[in-house]
């Protein structure tokens, strides 16, 4: 028994050490920086919670942080409703095993394998006002499309759409896996009782895929509040145009590392913001997870 | 706090991994030069060949990093006690951030006698305001103005505009031929700052700059608001869907002849010539508010060459920086890279560059860069964001002026009394 314990410890040590050295230690470093003011690039004085107060309650950070947080919330709600809602319907359609359903399954999942950077560049081209595929297609039916990524009113929506296009397949696959675990007898019994597709989806399938909903909710939540790659590639560090696509990830990056020609590096405030984002996501995810797990049992 | 504590070093090492992995241990007699100009590697190789010929035994190894991440890589490497022996440094506020941390060696005429070759305005861009010392040898002055595709104008029988009235007539005449007057869009924020500087500076004049320095004027000043209001007129001359047209698209519209003018910097010249060697390129000053009024271009210094304060090869690094401040270097630098070296005695042989240099005699500073990039929020981040909104129609010129002034008042003392 003791021998086995030693073996396990020996096998775990390299991974645990790597994690400790390259993940935990830098994180603790960032945590410590959050309590220091910076003179240029060197930590200067211990300032207690001042950086946190600055980030949350003082200009110029406050306005940017809360505008960005609001955008993160919009992103989360829209992705839950549209991306995951559609994924739920697609998963149900795939479950029915209509002709060519395997081909469709692959098609739906295909964008997921692309990196966010590729997807971002691809759609930036598609949405281009002069050479883009989208406006060219709209022109065929006589519609003069707007500069999707250049209008403050359409930019964030366009980014959410692209994110949906990218990750729809992932959510659909998780739902499908959940649906496939529902015993055939349950579905058949409901059908014999005269349940339509709508009723099945709402009353039978929905409660029984509760574990899948939990996973998707948590993943979408973390993804929405850590959103960075897509807005960075498609809208740049400042959340162009005019901050319409600014999200917490971009604010953090700009604050901590500066941007090429405009912002200055400020590790103190950047670290404070990173710590707050980490706490917010961790606490909310933990609470939501607890609630959703209970819901799974209740349903 | 101990700067060399293990946690700190580890964090910095992780961040700077890209930089550090790239810099393999150098041999004795080797020094490293760090640059953000990957595209200039060949030119620097050529330039350093001359240096090694004059200083046998000192080889210069070039490490080029992506411009967008250069500041982060350099600052984290320097904080970890690493980094190139000689480093390309930013100017103004970008220099201060690194210099005030003590990572660059202060330069003066005792360790770099060749600093005497460089005019005070250029040295000022590489000076830390707090101690008045120079930290880098300036390498280029840049001029912002209008790059003109002469062939497009000639074909349409139109002359490039010199006043705002001519902007409208030239724009209409070109539009009739299916050509856009100005290639720029507003989707890239840092270009919006440049764009606004180019067109508003001739309307503002040097008095406005002096008033900004004393606090007599802010960006809410009627002169600035009027200049921004005029800038809105230019929207009629920009490409269709200009709010979605980014920097790269603007360049391509200009290079392909679909637009006649690109508002940008002299730093575009070499790149444009490389991309389209047949391009009949000219560089002109932006339009004057009225005929006969001075057509101010916008001029600034781009950056410099600094010596790493912790370099183990400091003597050799200083030798290299001294060489980089000589007219011989300046001449070769100008001819290889198409940039205007600020070193006295440099002869510019390229006619277009000579013209740009002459235009610089009637110049205004790049206000947001030269005066407002020292602390957060910088004038640049405020201005680029606000101008982008204004061009997109969601903010008025007065709102832009007020927003920028309020933002800067947080640290710019002359605005605090307003």
Each domain of chain A, given as residue ranges in start order, spans 58-298
Determine if residue A98 is left, alpha or beta; phi over 0 gives left, psi from -120 to 50 gives alpha, anything else beta: beta
Q: Which long-range contacts (C-beta less than 8 Å, at least 24 apart) are formed by A114-119? A: A114/A166, A116/A166, A116/A229, A116/A230, A116/A233, A117/A229, A117/A233, A119/A162, A119/A165, A119/A166, A119/A230
> CA-to-CA distance for B6 and B358, rounded, in angstroms?
53
Mean pLDDT value of segment B166-176: 95
Q: What value does the mean pLDDT take over residues B266-295?
A: 92
- CA B278, CA B228: separation in Å to the nearest integer? 35
Q: Do B98 and A40 touch (CB under 8 A)?
A: yes
Chain B contact present for A26, CB below 8 A:
yes
- Smallest Cβ–Cβ distance between B97 and the set A60, A146, A265 belongs to A265
Nearest beta carbon to residue B244 from set A32, A128, A265: A128
Asked if A263 lies within 8 A of B378 by C-beta distance, the reply is: yes
DSSP SS3 for A23: helix
Number of A–B residue contacts, CB under 8 Å: 153
Cross-chain residue pair A264–B375, CB shorter than 8 Å: yes
Q: Across all residues in chain B, what is the average pLDDT? A: 90
Beta strand pairing call for B141-149 and B297-301: antiparallel
Cα dihedral value A172, A174, A179, A180, nearest 10 = 110
DSSP annotation of B127: B
What's the start-to-end Cα distance of chain B, in Å? Answer: 38
A242 and B CB contact within 8 Å: yes
B259 vs B238: CA distance, rounded Å: 9
Cβ neighbours of residue B349 closer than 8 Å, sequence gap 6 or more: B335
Contact (CB<8Å) A146/B79: no
CB contact under 8 A, B384 and A238: yes
The pair phi, psi for residue B4, each rounded to 5°, is -105, 20
Q: Which of A41, A46, A262 faces B101 most closely, judged by CB atoms?
A: A41
B-contacting residues of A 34-63, CB under 8 Å? 36, 39-43, 46, 59-60
d(CA B204, CA B96): 27
Q: Distance (Å, rounded) from C-alpha B395 to C-alpha B80? A: 44
Distance CA A86, CA A78 (A): 11
Inter-chain residue contact B376 with A263, CB threshold 8 Å = yes
Q: Write the secondary structure of A174-221 as one string of H (helix), E (strand) and C (coil).
A: HHHHHHHCCCHHHHHHHHHCCCCHHHHHHHHHHHHCHHHHHHHHHHHH
Mutate to test the interface with A, among B14, B65, B189 (most CBs of A within 10 A): B189
If contacts are CB pairs under 8 Å, which of residues 198-227 in chain B contact chain A?
Answer: none
Q: At what angle do helices B67-79 and B6-15 cross, to 10 degrees?
A: 160
- The CA distances from residue A203 to A182, A195, B80, in Å, are 13, 9, 60
Distance from CA of B100 to the nearest CA of A (A): 6
Which residue, among A207, A29, A95, A188, has the nearest Cα to B14 in the 3D structure? A29
Query: What pLDDT is stored for residue A26 in this prediction?
Result: 84
**Nearest-CB residue to B407 (from A60, A129, A264):** A60
Q: Is the dihedral of CA A110, A114, A116, A119 positive or negative?
A: negative
**Six-digit token pair at B35?**
């640059």
Report yes or no: A41 and B97 within 8 Å, Cβ to Cβ.
Answer: yes
* Helix, strand, coil % over all residues of chain A, rounded to 5: 75, 5, 25
Once rounded to an integer, what is the mean pLDDT over residues B105-122?
93
CB contact (8 A) between residue B98 and residue A36: no
CB contact under 8 A, B244 and A32: no
Token pair for B416: 């605090």
Tell me the Ramachandran region of residue A268: left when phi exceeds 0, alpha when psi lies from -120 to 50, beta otherwise: alpha
Q: Which two tokens stand for residue A50?
A: 């001042």
Contacts (Cβ under 8 Å, ≥6 apart) of A41: A265, A267, B75, B78, B79, B97, B98, B101, B103
Indicate yes or no: CB of B98 within 8 angstroms of CB of A32. Answer: no
Query: Chain A residue with minimal CA distance to B77?
Result: A41
pLDDT tens sequence across B331-371: 999 888 888 999 998 988 889 999 999 998 899 999 999 99
Question: CA B141, CA B272: separation in Å to the nearest integer?
Answer: 18
Tokens 């830390």 -> residue: B128
Whether A36 and B245 lie within 8 Å, measured CB to CB:
no
CA of A244 vs chain B CAs: smallest distance (Å): 9
Residues in chain B closer than 8 A to A32 (CB atoms): 7
Instruction: Judge: B98–A41 Cβ closer than 8 Å, yes or no.
Output: yes
Domains B6-140+302-343 and B142-300+362-416 share a fold: yes
**What was the pLDDT predicted at B15?**
46
Identify from A22, A38, A261, A274 which residue to disrupt to test chain B contact, counting B C-beta atoms within 10 A and taking the largest count: A261
Nearest-Cα residue of chain B relative to residue A33: B8
Residues of A in contact with B243 (CB under 8 A): 129, 147, 150-151, 241
Give residues 49 to 108 of B whose Cβ lies within 8 Å of A.
Answer: 67-68, 71-72, 75, 78-79, 93-94, 96-103
- Which residue on chain B is closest to A35 by alpha carbon? B1
- Whether residue B175 contacts residue B276, with contact meaning beta carbons closer than 8 Å, is answered with no
- Among B190, B243, B245, select the one facing A260 at the smallest CB separation: B190
Distances (CA, A) of B65 to A229, B68, B272, B314: 21, 9, 22, 22
10 Å CB burial of residue B128 (0-12, 13-18, 19+) is middle
Say whether residue A241 is in contact with chain B using an 8 A CB cutoff. yes
Q: Is the per-residue pLDDT at B71 higher than 90?
A: no
**Encoding tokens for residue B320?**
């290299």
* CB contact set of A298 (below 8 Å; sequence gap of 6+): none
The Cα diameter of chain A in Å comes to: 77
3-state secondary structure of A30: helix
- CATH assignment of B142-300+362-416? 3.40.190.10
Q: Do B67 and A260 touch (CB under 8 A)?
A: yes
Biggest alpha carbon–alpha carbon distance for chain B: 68
Distance from CA of B406 to the nearest CA of A (A): 10
Chain B residues within an 8 Å CB radius of A260: 67-68, 71, 190
Closest listed residue to residue B367, CA positions, set B146, B161, B207, B147: B207
Separation in Å, CA of A2 to nearest CA in chain B: 34
Which chain A residue lies closest to B404 (C-alpha atoms)? Answer: A60
Phi-psi region of B292 (alpha: psi -120 to 50; beta: other; left: phi over 0): left
Count of residues for chain B?
Answer: 418
Strands (E), B157-308: 180-182, 259-265, 281-284, 297-301, 303-307
CB B410 to CB A60 under 8 A? yes
Q: What is the ipTM of this complex?
A: 0.85
In order along chain A (299 residues), what is the average pLDDT of each group of 10 residues?
86 92 87 84 83 89 93 97 96 92 92 94 95 95 94 96 96 95 91 90 91 94 95 91 94 84 79 93 94 84
Residue among B187, B375, B380 whose CB faces A262 most closely: B380
Tell me the pLDDT band of B75, cut-offs 50, 70 and 90: confident
In whole angstroms, what is the distance from residue B71 CA to residue B306 CA?
Answer: 14
The whole-angstrom separation of Cα B336 and Cα B341 is: 11
From the list A25, A128, A264, the residue facing B376 with the nearest CB is A264
Query: What is the pairing mode between strands B30-35 and B59-64?
Result: parallel
What residues of chain B lie within 8 A of the CB of A265, using their CB? 71-72, 75, 97
Nearest Cα neighbor of B263 from B357, B185, B340 is B185
Chain A interface, mutation test: which of B184, B194, B243, B259, most A Cβ atoms within 10 Å? B243
Q: Just give the CATH number of B6-140+302-343.
A: 3.40.190.10
CATH class of A58-298: mainly alpha
Interatomic CA distance for residues B286 and B283, integer angstroms: 10
Question: What is the sign, positive or negative, of the torsion defined by CA atoms of A89, A90, A93, A94?
Answer: negative
Q: What is the pTM of this model?
A: 0.86
3-state secondary structure of A52: helix
Chain A interface mutation, best of B6, B67, B186, B244, highest count of A Cβ atoms under 10 Å:
B244
């Amino acid at each position: 028994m003791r021998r086995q314990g030693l073996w396990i410890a020996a096998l775990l040590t390299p991974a645990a050490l790597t994690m400790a050295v390259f993940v935990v230690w830098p994180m603790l470093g960032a945590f410590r920086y959050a309590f220091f003011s910076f003179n240029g690039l060197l930590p200067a004085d211990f300032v207690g919670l001042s950086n946190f107060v600055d980030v949350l309650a003082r200009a110029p950070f406050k306005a940017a942080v809360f505008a960005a947080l609001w955008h993160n919330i919009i992103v989360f709600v829209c992705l839950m409703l549209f991306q995951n809602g559609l994924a739920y319907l697609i998963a149900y359609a795939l479950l029915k095993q209509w002709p060519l359903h395997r081909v469709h399954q692959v098609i739906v999942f295909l964008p997921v394998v692309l990196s966010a950077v590729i997807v971002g560049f691809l759609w930036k081209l598609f949405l281009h006002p002069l050479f883009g595929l989208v406006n060219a297609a709209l022109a065929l039916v006589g519609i003069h499309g707007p500069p999707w990524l250049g209008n403050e009113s359409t930019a964030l929506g366009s980014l959410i759409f692209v994110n949906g296009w990218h990750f729809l397949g992932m959510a659909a696959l998780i739902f499908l896996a959940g649906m496939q675990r529902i015993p055939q007898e349950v579905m058949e019994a409901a059908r014999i009782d005269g349940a339509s597709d709508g009723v099945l989806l709402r009353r039978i399938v929905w409660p029984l895929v509760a574990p899948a909903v939990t996973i998707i909710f948590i993943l979408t939540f973390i993804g929405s509040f850590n959103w960075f790659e897509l807005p960075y590639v498609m809208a740049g560090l400042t959340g162009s145009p005019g901050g319409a696509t600014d999200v917490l990830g971009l604010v953090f990056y700009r604050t901590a590392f500066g941007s090429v020609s405009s912002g200055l590096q400020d590790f103190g405030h950047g670290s404070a913001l990173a710590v707050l984002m980490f706490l917010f996501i961790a606490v909310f995810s933990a609470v939501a997870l607890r609630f959703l797990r209970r819901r799974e049992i209740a349903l | 706090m101990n700067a060399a504590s293990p946690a700190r070093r580890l964090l910095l090492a992780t961040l700077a991994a890209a930089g550090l992995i790239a810099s393999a241990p150098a041999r004795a007699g080797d020094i490293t030069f760090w640059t953000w100009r990957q595209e200039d590697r060949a030119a620097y190789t050529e330039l350093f060949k001359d240096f090694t010929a004059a200083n046998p035994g000192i080889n210069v190894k070039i490490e080029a990093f992506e411009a967008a991440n250069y500041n982060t890589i350099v600052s984290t490497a320097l904080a970890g006690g690493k980094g190139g022996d000689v480093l390309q440094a930013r100017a103004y506020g970008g220099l201060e951030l690194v210099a005030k941390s003590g990572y660059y060696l202060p330069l003066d005429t005792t360790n770099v006698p060749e600093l005497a070759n460089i005019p005070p305005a250029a040295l000022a861009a590489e000076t830390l305001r707090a101690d008045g010392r120079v930290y880098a040898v300036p390498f280029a002055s840049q001029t912002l103005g209008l790059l003109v595709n002469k062939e497009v104008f000639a074909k349409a029988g139109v002359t490039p505009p010199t006043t705002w009235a001519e902007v409208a007539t030239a724009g209409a005449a070109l539009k009739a031929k299916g050509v856009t007057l100005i290639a720029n869009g507003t989707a890239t924020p840092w270009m919006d700052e440049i764009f606004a500087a180019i067109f508003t500076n001739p309307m503002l004049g040097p008095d406005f700059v002096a008033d900004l320095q004393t606090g007599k004027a802010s960006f809410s000043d009627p002169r600035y608001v009027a200049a921004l209001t005029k800038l809105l007129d230019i929207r009629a001359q920009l490409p269709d869907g200009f709010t979605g047209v980014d920097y790269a698209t603007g360049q391509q519209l200009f290079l392909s002849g679909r637009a006649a003018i690109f508002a940008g910097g002299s730093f575009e010249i070499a790149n444009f010539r490389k991309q389209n060697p047949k391009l009949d390129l000219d560089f002109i000053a932006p339009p004057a508010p009225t005929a006969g009024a001075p057509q101010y271009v916008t001029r600034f210094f781009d950056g410099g060459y600094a010596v790493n304060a912790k370099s183990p090869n400091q003597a050799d690094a200083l030798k290299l920086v001294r060489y980089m401040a000589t007219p011989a270097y300046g001449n070769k630098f100008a001819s290889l890279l198409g940039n205007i070296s600020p070193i006295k005695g440099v002869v510019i042989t390229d006619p277009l560059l000579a013209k740009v240099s002459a235009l610089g005699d009637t110049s205004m500073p790049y206000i947001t860069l030269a005066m407002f990039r020292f602390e957060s929020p910088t004038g640049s981040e405020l201005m680029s964001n606000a101008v982008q909104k204004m061009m997109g129609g969601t903010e008025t010129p007065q709102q832009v002026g007020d927003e920028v002034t309020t933002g800067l008042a947080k640290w710019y003392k002359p605005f605090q009394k307003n």
